[in-house]
Amino acid sequence: MSREYDLIVIGGGPGGSSAAITAAREGSRVLLLERGRFPRQKVCGEFVSTESLALLKWLLGESQQHLLQKALTLSESRLLLDGRIIHVPIDPPAASIARYDLDLALWNAAQQAGVTALQETTVQAIEGEDPFRVVTPSGEFGGRAVINATGRWSNLKLAENLPFGTRWLGLKAHFHGNGDLEASVDLYFFDGGYCGVQPVRGSDGSMLLNACALVSPGVASTLAEVLDRHPLLAGRSRAWTTTFEPVATFPVVLRQPVPVSGNVMNAGDAAGFVDPFIGDGIALALRGGNLAARNLYPFLNATAELKQSLEGYESAYRQVLSPAYRASSLLRKFMGVPRALRGAVLAACESSPRLASYLVEVTRSKPIELQPEFHQ
Ligand SMILES: Cc1cc2nc3c(=O)[nH]c(=O)nc-3n(C[C@H](O)[C@H](O)[C@H](O)COP(=O)(O)OP(=O)(O)OC[C@H]3O[C@@H](n4cnc5c(N)ncnc54)[C@H](O)[C@@H]3O)c2cc1C
47 lies in the same domain as 152: yes
Nearest Cα residue to atom 2 of ligand 1:
44
Residue nearest to atom 26 of ligand 1 (CA): 268
Q: Is 187 in the pocket of ligand 1 (CB under 6 A)?
A: no
Q: Could you give the CA distance from residue 25 to residue 312 in angstroms, rounded to a whole number? A: 20
Shared domain for 115 and 186, answered yes or no, is no
Same domain, 13 and 134: yes
Q: Report in angstroms the alpha-carbon separations of 359 from 92, 185, 217, 255, 256.
A: 16, 16, 29, 21, 20
Which of 233, 252, 271 is a domain's end point? 252
Q: Are residues 319 and 193 in the same domain?
A: no
Query: Does residue 97 sit in the same domain as residue 222?
Result: no
Q: Could you give the CA distance from residue 208 to residue 186 in angstroms, rounded to a whole number? A: 14
> Does 290 share its domain with 363?
yes
Q: How far is the CA of 337 from the centre of ligand 1 (A)?
A: 29
Same domain, 151 and 8: yes
Domain boundary among 252, 276, 292: 252
Cross-strand partners of 31: 8, 116
Q: What is the CATH number of the domain that holds 152?
A: 3.50.50.60
| Same structural domain, 362 and 259 | yes
Question: Do 303 and 264 share a structural domain?
Answer: yes
> What pLDDT, in 10s, does the model give residues 278-321?
889 999 999 999 999 999 999 999 999 999 999 999 999 999 99
**180 and 281: one domain?**
no
CA torsion 268→293→91→281, rounded to 10°? 0
Fill in the amino acid letter for 344: A
Q: Ligand 1: does its nearest atom lie under 6 Å from the Cβ of 52?
A: no
pLDDT at 159: 64
Q: Which amino acid appears at position 198 of this protein?
A: Q
**280 shares its domain with 316:** yes
Residue 89 structural domain: 4-164+253-375
Q: Are residues 215 and 258 in the same domain?
A: no
The answer, yes or no, to whether any atom of ligand 1 lies below 6 A from the CB of 122, is yes
Is 251 close to ligand 1, i.e. is its CB under 6 Å away?
no
Instruction: Compute, in angstroms, the gap from residue 25 CA to the centroid of ligand 1.
Output: 23
Distance from the alpha carbon of residue 71 to the mean position of ligand 1, in angstroms: 19
Total structural domains within the chain? 2
pLDDT tens string 69-95: 999 999 999 999 989 999 999 999 999
* Residue 375 in this model has a pLDDT that exceeds 50: no
Q: What is the pLDDT of residue 181?
A: 78
Mark which of 222, 252, 282 sits at the end of a domain: 252
Residues listed for the chain: 376
Q: What CATH number corresponds to the domain at position 220? A: 3.30.9.100
